[in-house]
Amino acid sequence: MIRNSYILSLCFSLILFISCSEGEIINQPIDFSAAMQNCTNDSSNSFVFYKIKDDNKEFLSLNFTSTSFNINTIPSKPVTVPLNSSTNIVTYRAFNKVINGDTYFCSSIPPSDANVINEFISTNGTAVITYTLKTTTDTTEIHSRTVDLFNITLEGADINYRVEKLSLGPTK
């Protein structure tokens, strides 16, 4: 009797263990070869850096708010933005049709005619924004801005992507 109850509770525990899943965890690269673009809403201190795949149906974006970041100023050291799932977010989205990045990201109300067919949103990680001097003249310095994402987890429908480093790349 004791042995049967032991076997029964072991089987029940095994079934419970197998059935409880946090979803599939995938460690594969997310590849976007397009140049990074950006837009800003200085009045609300919100900023967006994004890349759109060549087919214009998938994008990767970093949206964040900051009272100290200025899109038109070159800081002396890298800017670090802690990521979360509410205000400072990395998002991957795939759409059912072609989207225009400027219209979708840089207008106060994005178009509603494109349906999201797949979405992953960050829950943690860090974004680091750095500037590199490209050229200089007697009167002008030209810099490139690079956004790198570190130790992020993107969560979607029963799938989590964990990425140690992902570069949105330099602005075009």
Q: What is residue 127's predicted lDDT score, i.e. its pLDDT?
A: 96
Q: How many other CB atoms are found less than 10 A from the CB of residue 149?
A: 23
Q: Is the pLDDT at 53 greater than 50, yes or no?
A: yes
Q: What is residue 172's predicted lDDT score, i.e. its pLDDT?
A: 59
Residue the block writes with tokens 């998938």: 58
Out of 9-23, 42-56, 71-85, pick the least confident. 9-23
Q: What rounded mean pLDDT belongs to the chain?
A: 78
CB neighbour list of residue 159: distance below 8 Å, 6 or more residues apart: 23, 24, 25, 26, 120
**pTM, 2 dp:** 0.76
Mean pLDDT of 123-133: 93
Q: What is residue 113's predicted lDDT score, i.e. its pLDDT?
A: 77
pLDDT, tens only, 137-152: 888 888 888 999 999 9
Q: How many other CB atoms are found less than 10 A from the CB of residue 151?
A: 13
